[in-house]
Amino acid sequence: MSSTFGDNLKLSIFGQSHGPGIGMVLDGIPAGLAVDLPQLQRFLDRRAPGQGAYATARHEADTPEFLSGILDGFTCGAPIAALIRNTDTRSGDYANLADCPRPGHGDYTAQVKYGGFQDAAGGGHFSGRLTAPVCIAGGLCLQWLAFSGIRIGAHILDIAGLADEPFDPVSPALSRVSPDFPVISSQAGAQMQSRIADAKRDGDSVGGIIQCAVTGLPAGIGEPMFGGVEGHLSRILFGIPAVKGVEFGSGFTAAHMTGSQHNDPFTMEDGQVRTVTNHAGGILGGITDGMPVIFQVAVKPTPSISQPQQSVSLRQGCSAPLQVKGRHDACIVPRAVPVVEAAAAIAIMDLILGNTQTTRRK
């Protein structure tokens, strides 16, 4: 069930990168929730290929066809099924991958696991193309969470060592992120785009870090131990191809801090318990503390590069040179920003649907 996520809602992703279509089924959503399809399409357009000089030249409209679950602008209680048809594929670019796997991809491991029966074209079911249906589900969840005052936003924190201004962890201003290139500082954004262009010219690629904030979450969401919010978010975030690391709050920096530096002092604000700082990233003991949930996601460089690489011929059992063909992003970080937002929304929606709190002891 590796293509299914959720405890209280159930999200299933289907399709292959160069198959007839890709899609999702989202079950467990209550009836009567409003759905704004134009708003959803605007969200999907942020992830779609063929945008900007840094993105793949593959052109897909990424317009979902809803087969069930939505009626007259509202959820009807049935599973929500949506399909995106693939229209711009070049499977011939991948004809040799069953024999000569691409470094950095799942070609070799898929060959071992599935014995040659896997679909290698465009990465098949391992492709980042499968994040489009994740964004359908996540885009819907973002709308429903917003009805309760919960908002999720992300930006590029770093590309190839070039840093954007970080969110204020106590009061992140999500509206400051540019809708064109998702950064807070336009100067940093221009430098990042120039660095991506350099990598593309060199037949290479670069990676980066995405920072995401969830605001409006009440305290008390989540469970201790294996049911913690960090673990639940990490599970779906690591399902995004190219994600290699996730950290919450101060993350790995906490290892170089003292307890007096890292602890977030409690305070009362308008009758509510808050913290002065937010090194914990809004989560204590696996449970939300009412502060913004802040996390960072590390995204590796796009493994498909046009430079010659060393691989092997599985049939001949020897080393072999490889020249990767196809159309690829020199940096997938900008298009991954909405995917991170979508994944976070799905996980938070799942947690809220299953949230139970004990009546306070007198």
pLDDT at 81 over 70: yes
Position of tokens 């008390």? 220
Among 160, 92, 162, residue whose Cα is nearest residue 122: 92
Beta strands in 142-265 (DSSP E): 151-159, 162-163, 208-215, 243-248
User: For 45-59, 116-130, 303-317, which range has the lowest pLDDT when averaged over its residues?
Assistant: 45-59
Element (H, E) at 148: none
Residue 214 near residue 282, CB atoms below 8 Å: yes
pLDDT score at 358: 59
Digit-coded pLDDT (tens) for 232-288: 999 999 999 999 999 999 999 999 999 999 999 999 999 999 999 999 999 999 999
SS3 content of the chain, % helix, strand, coil (to 5): 30, 25, 45
Integer Cα distance of 24 and 45 in angstroms: 17
pLDDT score at 362: 57
Integer Cα distance of 43 and 48 in angstroms: 9
Three-state SS for 347?
A: helix
Integer Cα distance of 273 and 238 in angstroms: 32
Average pLDDT over residues 115-144: 90
Percent of the chain, pLDDT > 70? 93
- DSSP-derived pairing of the beta strands 162-163 and 70-71: unpaired
Integer Cα distance of 277 and 260 in angstroms: 12
Residue 144 near residue 75, CB atoms below 8 Å: no
Say which DSSP state 69 is in.
S
Q: 100: how many CB neighbours lie within 10 A of its CB? A: 20
Among 99, 100, 98, 88, residue whose Cα is nearest residue 121: 98
119-139 burial code (b ≥16 CB/10 A, e <16): bbbbbbbbbbbbbbbbbbbbb
User: For 46-50, 194-198, 256-260, which range has the lowest pLDDT when averaged over its residues?
Assistant: 46-50
Write out the DSSP string of 170-186. Answer: SS--GGGS-SSSS-S-H
pLDDT score at 123: 83
Element (H, E) at 7: none
Average pLDDT over residues 57-65: 76
Beta strands in the chain (DSSP E): 4-5, 10-15, 21-27, 65-68, 70-71, 74-75, 80-85, 151-159, 162-163, 208-215, 243-248, 266-269, 272-275, 283-284, 287-288, 293-299, 309-313, 318-322
Integer Cα distance of 119 and 107 in angstroms: 10
Read off the tokens for 343: 């994944």
Give Cα 124 distance to the centre of its chain.
18
Integer Cα distance of 362 and 358 in angstroms: 12
pLDDT score at 95: 65
Rg from Cα positions in the chain: 21
Three-state SS for 307?
A: coil
Residue 184 near residue 267, CB atoms below 8 Å: no
pLDDT at 58 over 70: no
Among 53, 160, 148, residue whose Cα is nearest residue 353: 148
Average pLDDT over residues 146-154: 97
Residue 159 near residue 141, CB atoms below 8 Å: no
pTM: 0.93
Position of tokens 């009546």? 359
